[in-house]
Amino acid sequence: MSAVENSADWLGARLARKEDLRLVTGQGRYLADIVLPGMLHAVFVRSEYAHARITGIDTSEAAAMPGVVAIFTGADFKDTVKPMPQPVVKPNLPARYPTFWPLAIEKVKFHGEPLAVVIARDKYVAEDAAECVYVDYEELPVVRDPEQALTADSPLVHEEDGSNEIFAMTLTGGETPEEQAANAAAVEEIFQRADVVVAERFRCHRTGITPMEPRGVLCDWNDSDGLTAWITTQRPHIDRLALSDLLEIPAEQVRVVAPRDQGGGFGVKAPFYRENLAIAYAARALRRPVRWVESRYESLMNVGQERDQINDLEIAASKDGKLLAVRNRGVADNGVGTIGVYWGFVMPFLGAVELPNAYTWERGDVSLRCATTNKAALTPSRAFGHFPTRFALERAIDMVAHKLDMEPAELRRRNLVPSLPYTSVTGEYYDSGDFVKVWDNLMAQVDLPAFRAEQARAREEGRYLGIGFACGVELSGVASELLVPMENQPGYGAATVRLDPRGKVYVFGGDAPGGQGHETTTAQVVAALFGIRPSDVVVTTGDTGTTPFGSGSIGARAGSYFVSAVAKACAELKDKITRILAHDLQIEASVQHFEFTNGEIVYLGDAAKRKPFTEVVERIIMFPINLPEDEVGGLEHTAFFEAAKPMICFNADCCIVEVDVESGNFSIKRWVTSEDVGTVINPNIVDGQMHGAIVQGLSNAMFEEFVYDEQGQQMSADFEHYKLATAADVPDIEITYAPTPCPHTPLGTRGIGEGRPSSVPGALSNAVCDALRPGSVWQKIREARG
């Protein structure tokens, strides 16, 4: 890798990913590759029913099998492990938090709930033994529909709560019922006088994300050092605190390590899971390492399920195309809710907060109810909570445009927030950016007039082309201002930057990536700031024993919060380096008088006064004599970053389809995006993030669905019944940029990886409906068949 002429050249370079060599040559080290001496293997026995009392568990035959070391049931945990909720995994939101232990006690509440765990010498013995654990059940009525769950005569999932409403909130109008009622009346008045009103029910099915690598945990215990847990997690520091609190182990005796290589997370690996607690308990009880690796069947049955919402949404507009008010009554199918940190309802909560999107509204009336049902709990998924609400809003905006006989693209542009900062009707703060610039860039790529002419010609030939648009305001990292109430966790970023005597740079971060390319982008940032090569930078993440506290790889924190902390730490070290270098050169100068470039530190006042970066670093670390007054040797700094206000990013999508009215099938002819990710560190990586997010959104919208039968049995727990999009199902995706550097981060960067799929279903459905306007797909098929 050659040096660059200017340190800034590394920012924006399409550098190949540093991670890929080990991954594509089979040298990656995943959780299942970690083997400890004497390691045992765990398999969970899971409920065959969605709702039933446990009248007996017979483990005798399984326990007698050769190679079985132990079998634990819920009774083993009842008096030895604290139940959830506990503060570290409980949001500061008003809700009913169900009480639960690692394994079901007395009652199972969803198909697949763990109720026993078998520990054996290998996974094959454990699997065989698990099949010989016999459970007697007394079946109970099942509730599968969230609206039914909220009725007075519904069966109760958590009887002790007295209600299936786990969470409810009105997000507009103020804090008090009186303020909210006054706001609702004002919104109703707008609807009464509006020229156009659209009211529609939108239902988004249960779908989400399926990471390439399922969950897993390996725990080791010794009486001297305590517990070491390797967990496929996005949030090792949060898992560490939860394990310490729930198992009542002193915090200094708990270390959590997220393996360097993880096959995706996308939100699924962000909660604190009961299985991790059970394995840690078993390792401590047995004084042996215990490992559990989730099967694909378990994964599809238990996690990666989100979206499941009904939104009764209304929009009021004027005849000149001004969006006046939005009203939404959301109902989310929360599932059972027994999942640490998120509890199922945190995602719909944020989806309701982000419902207004990038548009101006005079007023809004937005409320949400979340119902527990006998299904697996909702778990986080990319487009955290707002996949359903954004679909509803973007589809309804097209319906308004059609009523006004207005071009949907023009209606959107006319109502985009014209300047930032801005606060939405739900109180979400938009810090900076230029929505109109992003939109205009998209339209320049698409050439809408040319498409409309082509569409008209195609209809004359009996072909149906359609175009659809949608856009999305997303969080760029999650500020403590939002994350503390939403998850009871801080949002700041943290990084330690350490230089060694040979001029190499080591970066330590507490967040745990899952394949996004953090090693590469972080190395590019460090290389740009120190004027060295990215190959001279080593990035270590996700080990609570060696990294500063981090809230985890969630909410697009890497490009906003983590990278900003890295930049701050580098700035502090540069300041120290130049203070000492100026002393050695016997000049009066500070950091702004030097340039770090091409492996050298150059004094701008006299280019002849320059030193190799490695030489200066070695002098400060290895030869700390004759230093300026009050200076000491060593080059290491830990920095923390918290933006003054929550930050956002923005995108806009265009989808072009052709619909076959004979069959109702459609093909995507073109997908174009416009992105504002601020300063782009590496376009290759951002392109990859956008491609992956859009493919996920298309797969969610077109193929994937978790299906439960009338008895609450999960019917889609394998890839035969849960279809994912393949390369053959998706189009080429054209990624374009219209960036506005973020004024609140040191490098102007924004994070965009989290919420990006949310605009996909709106753009896709709008394109299909545009192709068939004014009729429905069914009407067109009937017409075609005579």
Residues 614-638, mean pLDDT to the nearest whole number: 98
Angstrom distance (rounded) from CA 113 to CA 108? 6
Q: Tokens in use for 444?
A: 């320049």
Angstrom distance (rounded) from CA 80 to CA 75? 9
Residues 53-65, mean pLDDT to the nearest whole number: 98
- Asked if pLDDT for residue 196 goes beyond 90, the answer is yes
Q: DSSP secondary structure string, 149-160?
A: HTSTTSPPSSGG
Residue listed under structure tokens 């509204």:
361
- Asked if pLDDT for residue 604 goes beyond 50, the answer is yes
* pLDDT for position 5: 45
Dihedral angle sign, alpha carbons of residues 162, 163, 166, 168: negative
Angstrom distance (rounded) from CA 775 to CA 781? 10
State the pLDDT confidence band at 780, using cuts at 50, 70 and 90: low
List Cβ neighbours of 565 (8 Å cut-off, separation of 6 or more).
492, 493, 494, 495, 509, 639, 640, 641
3-state secondary structure of 161: helix
Dihedral angle sign, alpha carbons of residues 659, 665, 667, 668: positive
* pLDDT for position 467: 98
* pLDDT for position 781: 65
* pLDDT for position 775: 58
State the pLDDT confidence band at 783, using cuts at 50, 70 and 90: confident
Model pTM score: 0.96
- CB atoms under 10 Å from CB of 741, counted, come to 16
* pLDDT for position 695: 97
Angstrom distance (rounded) from CA 52 to CA 35? 38
* pLDDT for position 753: 82
- Quick one: what percent of the chain has pLDDT higher than 70? 98
CA distances from 312 to 353, 378, 669 (A): 16, 20, 31
Tell me the pLDDT of the chain averaged across its residues.
96
- Asked if pLDDT for residue 439 goes beyond 90, the answer is yes
Does residue 490 contact residue 531 with C-beta atoms inside 8 Å? no
* pLDDT for position 776: 57
Angstrom distance (rounded) from CA 95 to CA 91? 9
* pLDDT for position 773: 79
State the pLDDT confidence band at 777, using cuts at 50, 70 and 90: low
Residue range 467-509, pLDDT digits in tens: 999 999 999 999 999 999 999 999 999 999 999 999 999 999 9
Q: Would strands 464-475 and 107-108 be described as parallel, antiparallel, or unpaired?
A: unpaired
State the pLDDT confidence band at 6, using cuts at 50, 70 and 90: low
Give, as one character, the DSSP assignment of residue 749. Answer: B
List Cβ neighbours of 626 (8 Å cut-off, separation of 6 or more).
none
Q: Where are the alpha helices (DSSP H) in 552-627?
A: 563-585, 613-622
- Asked if pLDDT for residue 785 goes beyond 80, the answer is no
Angle 547-550-555 (CA atoms, 0-180°, nearest 5)?
A: 140
- CB atoms under 10 Å from CB of 445, counted, come to 15
Angstrom distance (rounded) from CA 164 to CA 418? 42
- Asked if pLDDT for residue 3 goes beyond 50, the answer is no
Of residues 517, 524, 571, the one with CA closest to residue 541: 517
Residue listed under structure tokens 């026995």:
45
Alpha-carbon 550 to chain mean position: 15
State the pLDDT confidence band at 8, using cuts at 50, 70 and 90: low
Using a 10 angstrom Cβ sphere, with 0-12 exposed, 13-18 middle and 19 or more buried, the burial of residue 159 is exposed
- Asked if pLDDT for residue 4 goes beyond 50, the answer is no
- Asked if pLDDT for residue 375 goes beyond 80, the answer is yes
- Asked if pLDDT for residue 591 goes beyond 90, the answer is yes
- Quick one: what percent of the chain has pLDDT higher than 90? 96
Q: Tokens in use for 529?
A: 């700031």
State the pLDDT confidence band at 2, using cuts at 50, 70 and 90: very low
Residue range 384-419, pLDDT digits in tens: 999 999 999 999 999 999 999 999 999 999 999 999
* pLDDT for position 778: 59
* pLDDT for position 645: 85
Residue range 319-333, pLDDT digits in tens: 999 999 999 999 999
* pLDDT for position 444: 98
Determine what percent of the chain falls in helix, strand and coil, rounding each to the nearest 5.
35, 25, 40
Does residue 334 contact residue 373 with C-beta atoms inside 8 Å? yes
Residue range 532-590, pLDDT digits in tens: 999 999 999 999 999 999 999 999 999 999 999 999 999 999 999 999 999 999 999 99
Angstrom distance (rounded) from CA 172 to CA 127? 51
- Asked if pLDDT for residue 355 goes beyond 80, the answer is yes
- CB atoms under 10 Å from CB of 115, counted, come to 21
Q: Tokens in use for 202?
A: 């939108």
Domains of the chain: 37-140+215-293 (3.90.1170.50), 306-414+425-480+645-785 (3.30.365.10), 492-641 (3.30.365.10)
In DSSP terms, 737 is beta-bridged to 675
* pLDDT for position 703: 97
